[in-house]
Structure 1
Amino acid sequence: MVTGRYLNGGELPMEAVEQRKIIKAVRNEPALAEVFKVPILSLPTSLLFVVFYVGFGATTYMYLQGAISWPLVIVANAIFIYISFTPFHEAVHRSLSRVNWINETLGTMSAQLLLPGFNTSLYRYLHVLQHHQHTGEADADPDVPFLIGSVFTRVARWAFLDVLWVRYYVGAWTTRPVAERVRFSVGVLIYISVLVIGFTSSFINEFLVAFVVPCLLARIALVYLFAYIH
């Protein structure tokens, strides 16, 4: 269950509103304005966006053509999917672009290999408004389940983190804006569609090798490095 007092129709907890006022005041200091200025488009992060999509597409194509082995495509695609989290995370923190629609669009596109159907605003709620505001609080931090339980339980949760986060969001359903709930619902339908098509097609083996297994490995590595040992 998600706790806390909310303002703005459930958009922000009260303590987050106060913290944002402080952050805004600091950022408006003339001496620090240039430091905090977000570019129209962050070139290093945008380059990663190109690298992981082109890399994933190229290795998958080579695997389908028989040019590389299945172990190689699993490792390579896991790395590319892992990399995709960086532009997604930057967009969630509004650091990818100061142009809102560019930031949100590229962020959502970055999520599709790691978390099909997820969007920037959904993860912003989970990561910024909940995880950062309630780090370590068992009843409010969506990342706490990654840290508890047996080794097998933890690794399984890392691999299927999307299930945990979807369940968490559903638990906070009535507190979230309608537009965000609509995007969430559309995303879930997209995700289910991808899985149904992939597992019922004649290319199920290729789907598993080039996408499903690399995706699960990337998630395990990501949560271990950024949530568990951190």
Structure 2
Amino acid sequence: MEAVEQRKIIKAVRNEPALAEVFKVPILSLPTSLLFVVFYVGFGATTYMYLQGAISWPLVIVANAIFIYISFTPFHEAVHRSLSRVNWINETLGTMSAQLLLPGFNTSLYRYLHVLQHHQHTGEADADPDVPFLIGSVFTRVARWAFLDVLWVRYYVGAWTTRPVAERVRFSVGVLIYISVLVIGFTSSFINEFLVAFVVPCLLARIALVYLFAYIH
């Protein structure tokens, strides 16, 4: 079934009066919002304890990888406009949720990659941005999972001329933010802490996410 036909069916179902309450998006999804608090507080607390010498480096890597993994849930819900029916709340919380997993990324950018491209062109080699995650050797696949940001940036640049100007501006600002985070982290006197508390957990979280939600899904 073509994506256009699928969307027509989904729209018809969502507009069915008897099902209106089922599809109603709350002003703010409390369970998802709670996850937002949990992963930021958890990440901050474990990082602080590590910097104070209260917990070991293996523990902070595992803990922060879990918290970064959790951060994908509110981000994903916002991308599907399910976090809040108030648009600015949905977009803001979604973008904030992305910052540990993908610094600089925003809700609308991932909506383009995930909803408009992946869901509409699932499995199409030339159109689905997630296809590279599924092919190649084990090493190649895992490397792509860890550095999914590179793949997605390349994909977006390839579609540059087709995207709205405002979105391209947000994308460019996001890339600058991301590069700034990496430059500051790797040139500071806290490079070891930066690697242990953020970089390695982030890469592990990405690998787990892509494996569970794209590779075996």
Q: TM-score range by the shorter chain?
A: over 0.9
- Partners of 1:105 and 1:16 lie apart in 2 by 28
What is the CA deviation profile of residues 203-226 of structure 1, one whole-angstrom value per residue up to 9, with x for unaligned ones? 000000000000000000000000
Secondary structure of 1:227 counterpart: helix
After TM superposition, give the deviation of residue 148 of structure 1 in Å. 0.5
- Partners of 1:155 and 1:211 lie apart in 2 by 19
- Partners of 1:149 and 1:18 lie apart in 2 by 32
Length, aligned pairs only: 217
What is the CA deviation profile of residues 127-181 of structure 1, one whole-angstrom value per residue up to 9, with x for unaligned ones? 0000000001000000000000010000000000000000000000011011100
Secondary structure of 1:76 counterpart: helix
Secondary structure of 1:167 counterpart: helix
What TM-score do the two structures reach when normalised by structure 2?
0.97
**1:63 and 2:50 correspond:** yes
**1:33 and 2:20 correspond:** yes
Secondary structure of 2:18 counterpart: coil
- Partners of 2:76 and 2:178 lie apart in 1 by 20
- Partners of 1:211 and 1:176 lie apart in 2 by 31
- Partners of 1:144 and 1:81 lie apart in 2 by 23
- 2:182 is matched with which residue? 195
Long gaps (5+) in structure 2: none
Secondary structure of 1:31 counterpart: helix
After TM superposition, give the deviation of residue 60 of structure 1 in Å. 0.1
After TM superposition, give the deviation of residue 24 of structure 1 in Å. 2.8
- Partners of 1:169 and 1:212 lie apart in 2 by 23
Runs of 4+ with deviation above 3 angstroms:
14-22
After TM superposition, give the deviation of residue 25 of structure 1 in Å. 2.7
- Partners of 2:202 and 2:181 lie apart in 1 by 13
Q: Are 1:91 and 1:104, in contact at CA under 8 Å, matched by a contact in 2?
A: yes
What TM-score do the two structures reach when normalised by structure 1?
0.92
After TM superposition, give the deviation of residue 18 of structure 1 in Å. 5.8
After TM superposition, give the deviation of residue 20 of structure 1 in Å. 3.9
- 1:116 is matched with which residue? 103
**1:219 and 2:206 correspond:** yes
Identity of aligned residues (%): 100
Long gaps (5+) in structure 1: 1-13
After TM superposition, give the deviation of residue 26 of structure 1 in Å. 1.9
After TM superposition, give the deviation of residue 17 of structure 1 in Å. 5.9
- Partners of 1:148 and 1:105 lie apart in 2 by 34
- Partners of 1:17 and 1:134 lie apart in 2 by 11
After TM superposition, give the deviation of residue 88 of structure 1 in Å. 0.2
After TM superposition, give the deviation of residue 29 of structure 1 in Å. 1.2
Q: Which of 80, 83, 96 in structure 1 is aligned with 2:83?
A: 96
What is the CA deviation profile of residues 50-101 of structure 1, one whole-angstrom value per residue up to 9, with x for unaligned ones? 0000000000000000000000000000000000000000000000000000
Q: Are 1:16 and 1:129, in contact at CA under 8 Å, matched by a contact in 2?
A: no
RMSD: 1.4
After TM superposition, give the deviation of residue 192 of structure 1 in Å. 0.2
